[in-house]
Structure 1
Amino acid sequence: MIRLEQLTKTFSQKDGTQFTAVDSVSLTVPEGEICVFLGPSGCGKTTSLKMINRLIPPTSGKVFLNGEDTTGINAVELRRHIGYVIQQIGLFPNMTIEENITVVPRLLGWDRKRCRARAIELMAMVSLDPKQYLGRYPRELSGGQQQRIGVIRALAADPPVLLMDEPFGAVDPINRESIQNEFFQMQRQLKKTVIMVSHDIDEAIKLGDRVAIFRQGKLVQYDHPDKMLAQPANDFVATFVGHDRTLKRLLLVRAEDAAVRQPTIDANRPLQDAYAMMDELDARHLVVTQQSGHTLGYVARRDARGTQGTCAERVRPFKAVAAPDDNLRILLSRMYEHNLAWLPVLDVAGAYLGEVTQDSIADYLSSGRSRGEVSSVLTPQAVPVRAVPA
């Protein structure tokens, strides 16, 4: 959906010298994904963002939207089809909330009924009552509410692309997390292609399908966030994402990624068979299943030792289980809460997919594997590589 090709911006300084703010940046953001631009102040991330909708004209290079070179598109017309959200929100104080939301649709010629319907639809997405808020003015709303309006205003005309310049930076931590969650759910529902500038590595990890790290105008690494944390391109990236980058990966890695498949036993099998299997595997438990594939629980080694009967008669229920999409941070919290060394991973039908242990989590995180299947690493000397969906 968005492709930057050798995008460059050079500014003339007062002393007559030239300063290159963005240096030959090339990357592709696939349709429906969120890409987060990260980097220290002055690295070129905001300048790169503003060149996409030509708030800043590029010195050289091209921007393609859905395969179309934007060079020949009128700048005003281009901006009307790209949503834009800034940290300062930028609501018009003399307009009601409804009028603020529908600014672009009205410019595009939408009728009043259609505009109002769109405003009501978007207000519901951010949990604001249209009857209560549409007639108010920005000064009558809290900062968090104003920021929500700023986000949905950018979506009002249903643009395929959304640009966001540190949109949640000025919001307090509690509201920020809430707005981030609302935005993430909206994006997944609406499938917008988003480029967001952020200074917050945790925000980038939480929201980004891909993260682009800039330094001194150059694109240093462009990857799935888990790939970036697992395999930083250089010392700068490793330092920038933090020395706790392995712990940050807990939010990105899913239970099914770190799960290890272990043998199971049918509920009708004798306990003696279960004990023999555990003895051979040097295991302390064995998951018990039915012929249908449904998981009943587990049998403990001490319950099976020298005991007659079937596994179904001595099966224990799980204290807690994991779903395939649960992240490792949730799993570890659940393990510590229930004082467990392992958790079974079950699908929605209750079928056993494997189990996650503290050792399997450590093995996965230290193995170098990541959820970013395709890497697009750019170093200052590297040839730009176009990213493809992971």
Structure 2
Amino acid sequence: MIELEQLSKTYTQKDGTLVRAVDSVSLKVAEGEICVFLGPSGCGKTTTLKMINRLIAPTSGRVLLNGEDTTGIDEVSLRRHIGYVIQQIGLFPNMTIEENITIVPRLLGWDKKRCRERATELMAMVALDPAKFLKRYPRELSGGQQQRIGVIRALAADAPVLLMDEPFGAVDPINRESIQNEFFQMQRQLKKTVIMVSHDIDEAIKLGDQVAIFRAGKLVQFDHPDTLLARPKDDFVSAFVGQDHTLKRLLLVRAGDAATTPATARPGLPLQDAMNLMDDQDARYLTITDNDNRALGYISRRDIRSAGTQGVSGDKVRPFNLNAAPDENLRVVLSKMYKHSASWMPVIDAEGKYLGEVTQDSIADYLSSGKSRGQRMAA
């Protein structure tokens, strides 16, 4: 865990004026989470990042790593155990890719076999063939490939903490999305604690477990990205996240969050009773499940009316043409709905269990309700 306690940095200008670049910042980043620092240029986010590994010395306040004050740790030892990635990458041109990746492990005394195994493992995680690339030099790689090497080099010594200063900012949009996806999967697999500086709100909500918004050296809001979008603390945050912040939430909210749980029926329910149940719910359809709550399909009011109310619900069951998994984001869900001209979809888990349904109305209700995934996860 990383904890900042009233962290501040003050500079003295040539005319003697004091400038507070970072002003009493306090926050906690849980082990294995990604926290993204956001804010306009000069807001203090990069200075705060650099104070964590003491590239910049704090004027006051403390940085704690797993409860230990970093001022009591030797600077060289501290930096060797905190990975650091910058936008400019900084690969050594006269070293091979393998040598670049393993520079810190070699300084830590790792043997050649262990270094090679680590480099091979990390190269595979970013979709670069170790046999093809390890013996190459940086000039023989594209910009996107070099950026991948810069990221995994910071992970080579298996440091528990990774600091990243706009690591994907210089990469073109196509490669940036690919690298972001690879990094996110790698972080979830390795469970590193990451603090990342970014200027991109879309990147922040895509990657961050928590987002910290800075302004003029102060921490303005620190929240789960969905909470940040749902309830900006003030006009500055609202303007920073953008007028389309509600649409951005579609990537964060899952089908299971926006699902409702209308009544269901068993196959043996008489059709007249099924019609009455739909009348009670003012619904045009009714989901049919078995005794284990597995979704079998649905019956519609129209089908019952056209065939009469004799028989049981199982006689008129239609299979679902599409469904949503509980962890699918609402952007995917709405895309499916619009593609198939559907107004609703059942939410069904991997075992076929019926969890409810998501509709265009339920999505709109959730987004306007003030609820957020951050609130739900904290509870």
What TM-score range do you get, normalising by the shorter chain? over 0.9
Q: Please tell me whether residue 213 in structure 1 is matched to residue 246 in structure 2.
A: no
Q: Is the 8 A contact 1:163 1:194 kept in 2?
A: yes
Compare 262-271 and 161-170 and name the one that shifted more: 262-271
Structural RMSD (CA)? 1.2
Residue from 331, 335, 338 that aligns with 1:336: 338
Distance 2:378 2:38 in 1: 19
When normalised by structure 1's length, the TM-score is 0.95
Compare 104-113 and 12-21 and name the one that shifted more: 12-21
Q: Please tell me the residue identity of whatever aligns with 2:190.
A: L
When normalised by structure 2's length, the TM-score is 0.98
Q: Superposed, which structure 2 residues align to 1:300-311 within 5 Å?
A: 300-305=300-305, 306-311=308-313
Q: Please tell me the residue identity of whatever aligns with 1:34.
A: I
1:19-43 deviations in Å (ceiling 9; x for gaps): 1110111111010100000000000
Q: Please tell me whether residue 372 in structure 1 is matched to residue 374 in structure 2.
A: yes
Q: Which residue of 2 aligns with 1:241?
A: 241
Give the drift of 1:275: 1.3
Q: Which residue of 1 aligns with 2:130?
A: 130
SS in 2 for 1:16: coil
Q: Which residue of 2 aligns with 1:158?
A: 158
Distance 1:94 1:199 in 2: 32
Q: Is the 8 A contact 1:324 1:347 kept in 2?
A: yes
Give the drift of 1:307: 3.5
SS in 1 for 2:265: strand
Give the drift of 1:280: 2.3
Give the drift of 1:319: 1.5
Q: Please tell me whether residue 58 in structure 1 is matched to residue 58 in structure 2.
A: yes
- Structure 1 unaligned segments of length 5 or more: list them: 375-387
1:303-337 deviations in Å (ceiling 9; x for gaps): 11223222222111112100110111111101000
SS in 1 for 2:324: coil
Compare 51-60 and 95-104 and name the one that shifted more: 51-60
Q: Which residue of 2 aligns with 1:34?
A: 34
Distance 1:176 1:264 in 2: 45
Q: Please tell me whether residue 229 in structure 1 is matched to residue 255 in structure 2.
A: no
Give the drift of 1:12: 1.6
Q: Which residue of 2 aligns with 1:196?
A: 196
Q: Superposed, which structure 2 residues align to 1:109-128 within 5 Å?
A: 109-128=109-128
Distance 2:110 2:218 in 1: 41
Q: Which residue of 1 aligns with 2:363?
A: 361
Compare 264-273 and 27-36 and name the one that shifted more: 264-273
Q: Please tell me the residue identity of whatever aligns with 2:347.
A: V
Q: Which residue of 2 aligns with 1:280?
A: 280
SS in 1 for 2:188: helix
Q: Superposed, which structure 2 residues align to 1:47-196 within 5 Å?
A: 47-196=47-196
Give the drift of 1:372: 1.2
Distance 2:245 2:159 in 1: 35
Q: Superposed, which structure 2 residues align to 1:375-386 within 5 Å?
A: none
Give the drift of 1:209: 0.2
Q: Which residue of 1 aligns with 2:314?
A: 312
Q: Is the 8 A contact 1:30 1:389 kept in 2?
A: no
Distance 1:280 1:126 in 2: 54
Give the drift of 1:389: 6.4
SS in 2 for 1:240: helix
Q: Which residue of 2 aligns with 1:323?
A: 325
Compare 346-355 and 200-209 and name the one that shifted more: 346-355
Q: Is the 8 A contact 1:254 1:327 kept in 2?
A: yes
- Structure 2 unaligned segments of length 5 or more: list them: none
Compare 43-52 and 263-272 and name the one that shifted more: 263-272
Compare 50-59 and 195-204 and name the one that shifted more: 50-59
Distance 1:327 1:316 in 2: 26
Distance 1:118 1:295 in 2: 46
Q: In percent, how many aligned pairs have the same letter?
A: 76
Give the drift of 1:262: 0.6
SS in 1 for 2:151: helix
